[in-house]
């Protein structure tokens, strides 16, 4: 395994280098989401990733772009031929921040905790592993017995953040798995150790000298992640030098301003965040493929990509990000063509009532995409009414068949690097309605997705199955796929070593340093 060799080389290099590393100062990051809880098992979104990946470790770790997993708390793993038993060999030199050694018991406790609190990654792992099916074979070996031979489990082990079981158990209250305590305290093994936390402000963490993974010659002594909701404040702060880094999904106008500012660098990476619009495929009139296609042709892709996003995003013709394996490379995508839109509209036999479309309040990208669709639809004589609501409301309405909008659009981020993250979750019938809010159901697609999901299917076969399924979905137009986001990481020019991965979005700070 080449990654292993790399890790070893890095370890050697670190050991040989003289310990010259002195005070490297404090890195201050301004983030657009709240760090309202520190519990690594409670949240699973990109906005709050910094707490999970800097203070906690998973069995493996996603790095680089395209993302790959490197051994982390676990050195290696084996899968039984039936794909149901996964056995991980753990490192023996991993210390928690309080000095205790991490053992397989901690992994078992963490997994049970994830399944019990049912938040964050628990929603994905829940159907794969039943409580009680994680066992410590010995102090350095942990075994998961899966309920189904899911290949996705392998993509999710990076998110099994391991907590210090002894410490958390001491702070449990009324069998809450320490939820109240872990919300504002930290019990991890991660590269940084919590120093100060205020949910209204953010957190400061200091470097954990004894972290198992060797530190490079340069690093930050302290990292501070501060919540700064207002985009302009983050931008001005970076330009003035108050902050050293920002979250990477800014508007193109903001990126232009940052590029022009001295002392600021903008690191550009292709990301995996597809802006998609889902139609309600089960409710008339959008159960008619002709209407769905008509709308797909009535959407002005250029207006969004070139004018509003100023070319900072790339057209993504299918639901799978272009840069993900499994994306069919030959599909060209729908174009803005009102004539074709009208042709398809003419084939719609049933009457078309005004359609309701949900947008996310405060997310101008969703509002602008919706506005463009509304405008195009109006030109072919279809009325769309926009309803703006906070994410919580939109999300809960998508889960209810009666309250589901006719159309709803939002970007689909990367939670794990597998085509299933996009194609399977949005259009596989097993995810109706949780993530397949389009309620799209096609046996031909299901057959392929289900087979591609199995750990027992060879990789080449999985790729082919995903490509085929994506083509079928494309022809059925159950949604509109607009663009794949680029990540523009704005950092102070002094910062070096930023290691971007679409999972975590460059917020893992252990690799970075001041030049």
> Residue 155 Cβ, how far from another protein at the closest point, in Å?
14
Strand order in the sheet with 74-79: 74-79, 85-90, 141-146, 129-138
Whichever of 421 and 457 has its CB closer to another protein, that residue is 421
> Of 130-138, 205-213, 371-379, 416-424, which part binds another protein (CB under 8 A)?
371-379
> Residue 174 Cβ, how far from another protein at the closest point, in Å?
12
Q: Identify the H or E element spanning 357.
A: strand 355-360
> Of 114-122, 143-151, 338-346, 477-485, which part binds another protein (CB under 8 A)?
114-122
Phi and psi at 261, nearest 5°, equal -85, 140
Sequence-ordered strand ranges (E) for 280-350:
313-315
Binder to another protein among 255, 371, 438, 512 (CB under 8 A)? 371
Does 451 bind another protein (CB under 8 A)? Our answer is no
Does 423 bind another protein (CB under 8 A)? Our answer is no
Q: What is the DSSP string of 360-398?
A: ETT-HHHHHHHHHHHHHHHHTT--EEEEEE-HHHHHHHH
Q: Identify the H or E element spanning 234.
A: helix 231-240
Whichever of 71 and 490 has its CB closer to another protein, that residue is 490
> Of 194-202, 340-348, 439-447, 474-482, which part binds another protein (CB under 8 A)?
194-202
Phi and psi at 269, nearest 5°, equal -140, 145
> Residue 513 Cβ, how far from another protein at the closest point, in Å?
20
Does 307 bind another protein (CB under 8 A)? Our answer is yes
Does 375 bind another protein (CB under 8 A)? Our answer is yes
Does 37 bind another protein (CB under 8 A)? Our answer is yes
Binder to another protein among 7, 266, 267, 393 (CB under 8 A)? 393
Binder to another protein among 224, 247, 406, 508 (CB under 8 A)? 224
Whichever of 56 and 243 has its CB closer to another protein, that residue is 243
> Residue 346 Cβ, how far from another protein at the closest point, in Å?
23
β-pair partners for 227 = 31
> Of 67-75, 113-121, 324-332, 483-491, which part binds another protein (CB under 8 A)?
113-121
Whichever of 141 and 368 has its CB closer to another protein, that residue is 368
Binder to another protein among 200, 330, 332, 349 (CB under 8 A)? 200
Binder to another protein among 147, 232, 350, 459 (CB under 8 A)? 232
C-beta separation of 252 from 310 below 8 A: yes
> Using CB under 8 A, which residues numbered 162 to 191 contact another protein?
179-180, 183-184
> Residue 312 Cβ, how far from another protein at the closest point, in Å?
14
> Using CB under 8 A, which residues numbered 330 to 359 contact another protein?
359
Task: Annotate 320-344 with b (16+ C-beta within 10 A) or e (fewer).
Answer: bbbbbebbbeebeebebeeebbeeb
d(CA 280, CA 474): 15
> Using CB under 8 A, which residues numbered 276 to 305 contact another protein?
300, 303-304
Whichever of 63 and 160 has its CB closer to another protein, that residue is 160
Sequence-ordered strand ranges (E) for 12-139:
26-31, 60-63, 68-71, 74-79, 85-90, 129-138
Does 370 bind another protein (CB under 8 A)? Our answer is yes
Measured CA distances, 459 to 4, 163, 277, 474 (Å)? 21, 32, 29, 22
> Of 95-103, 230-238, 259-267, 464-472, which part binds another protein (CB under 8 A)?
230-238
> Residue 310 Cβ, how far from another protein at the closest point, in Å?
10
Whichever of 143 and 179 has its CB closer to another protein, that residue is 179
Whichever of 65 and 492 has its CB closer to another protein, that residue is 492
d(CA 243, CA 235): 9
Whichever of 112 and 367 has its CB closer to another protein, that residue is 367
C-beta separation of 48 from 63 below 8 A: no
Does 32 bind another protein (CB under 8 A)? Our answer is no
Q: What is the DSSP string of 125-193?
A: HTTTEEEEEEEEEETTEEEEEESS-BTHHHHHGGG-----HHHHHHT--TT-TTHHHHTT-----SSEE
Binder to another protein among 435, 439, 462, 486 (CB under 8 A)? 435
> Residue 440 Cβ, how far from another protein at the closest point, in Å?
18
What mask, x for binding another protein by CB under 8 A, covers residues 78 to 97? Answer: --------------------
For the packed helices 443-452 and 459-476, what is the interaxial angle rounded to 10 degrees?
160
Hey, what are 35's tokens? 């760090």
> Residue 88 Cβ, how far from another protein at the closest point, in Å?
22
Provide the 3-class DSSP secondary structure of residue 87: strand
Whichever of 224 and 288 has its CB closer to another protein, that residue is 224
- Long-range Cβ contacts of 153-156 (<8 Å, 24+ apart): 153/86, 153/125, 153/128, 153/129, 153/455, 154/69, 154/79, 154/86, 154/455, 155/69, 155/416, 155/417, 155/418, 155/421, 156/121, 156/124, 156/125, 156/128, 156/416
> Using CB under 8 A, which residues numbered 236 to 275 contact another protein?
236-237, 240, 242, 251, 253-254, 257
Does 147 bind another protein (CB under 8 A)? Our answer is no
Determine the size of the site formed for another protein (CB under 8 A): 77
d(CA 190, CA 208): 7
d(CA 17, CA 100): 27
């Amino acid at each position: 395994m080449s990654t292993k060799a790399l890790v070893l080389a890095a370890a050697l290099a670190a050991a040989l280098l003289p310990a010259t590393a002195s005070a490297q100062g404090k890195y201050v990051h301004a983030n657009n989401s709240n760090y309202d809880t520190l519990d690594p098992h409670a949240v699973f979104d990109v906005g709050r990733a910094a707490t999970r990946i800097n203070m906690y470790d998973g069995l493996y770790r996603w790095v680089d772009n395209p993302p790959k997993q490197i051994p982390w708390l676990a050195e290696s793993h084996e899968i039984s031929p039936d794909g149901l038993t996964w056995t991980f060999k753990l490192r023996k030199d991993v210390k928690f921040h309080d000095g205790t050694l991490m053992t397989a018991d901690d992994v078992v406790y963490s997994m049970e905790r994830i399944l019990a609190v049912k938040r964050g990654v628990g929603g994905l792992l829940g159907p794969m592993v039943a409580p009680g099916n994680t066992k410590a074979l010995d102090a350095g070996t942990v075994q998961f017995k899966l309920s189904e031979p899911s290949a996705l489990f392998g993509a999710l082990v990076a998110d099994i953040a391991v907590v210090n079981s002894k410490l958390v158990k001491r702070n449990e209250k009324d069998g809450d798995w320490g939820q109240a305590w872990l919300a504002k305290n930290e019990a991890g093994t991660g590269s940084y150790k919590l120093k100060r936390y205020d949910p209204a402000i953010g957190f400061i963490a200091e470097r954990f000298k004894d972290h198992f993974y060797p530190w490079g010659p340069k690093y930050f002594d302290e990292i501070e992640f501060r919540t700064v909701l207002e985009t302009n404040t983050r931008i001005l702060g970076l330009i003035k030098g108050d902050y050293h880094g920002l979250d990477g999904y800014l508007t193109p106008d903001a990126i232009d301003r940052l590029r022009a500012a001295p002392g600021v660098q903008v690191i550009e990476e292709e990301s995996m965040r597809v802006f998609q619009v889902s139609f309600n495929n089960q409710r008339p009139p959008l159960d008619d493929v002709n209407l769905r296609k008509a709308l797909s042709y009535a959407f002005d892709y250029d207006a969004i990509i070139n004018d509003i996003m100023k070319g900072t995003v790339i057209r993504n013709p299918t639901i799978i990000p272009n840069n993900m394996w499994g994306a069919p490379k030959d599909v060209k995508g729908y174009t803005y063509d009102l004539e074709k839109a009208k042709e398809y509209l003419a084939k719609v036999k049933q009457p078309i009532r005004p359609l309701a479309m949900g947008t996310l309040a405060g997310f101008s990208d969703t509002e602008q995409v919706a506005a463009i669709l509304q405008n195009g639809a109006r030109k072919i004589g279809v009325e769309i009414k926009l309803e703006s609501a906070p994410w919580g409301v939109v999300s809960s309405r998508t889960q209810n068949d009666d309250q589901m909008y006719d159309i709803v659009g939002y970007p689909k981020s990367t939670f794990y690097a597998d085509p299933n993250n996009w194609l399977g979750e949005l259009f596989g019938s097993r995810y109706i309605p949780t993530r397949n809010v389009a309620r799209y159901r096609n046996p031909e697609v299901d057959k392929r997705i289900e087979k591609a999901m199995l750990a027992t299917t060879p990789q080449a076969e999985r790729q082919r199955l995903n490509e085929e399924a994506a083509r079928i979905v494309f022809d059925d137009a159950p949604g509109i796929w607009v663009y794949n986001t680029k990540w523009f990481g704005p950092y102070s020019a002094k910062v070096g070593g930023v290691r971007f991965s679409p999972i975590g979005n460059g917020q893992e700070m252990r690799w970075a340093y001041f030049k």
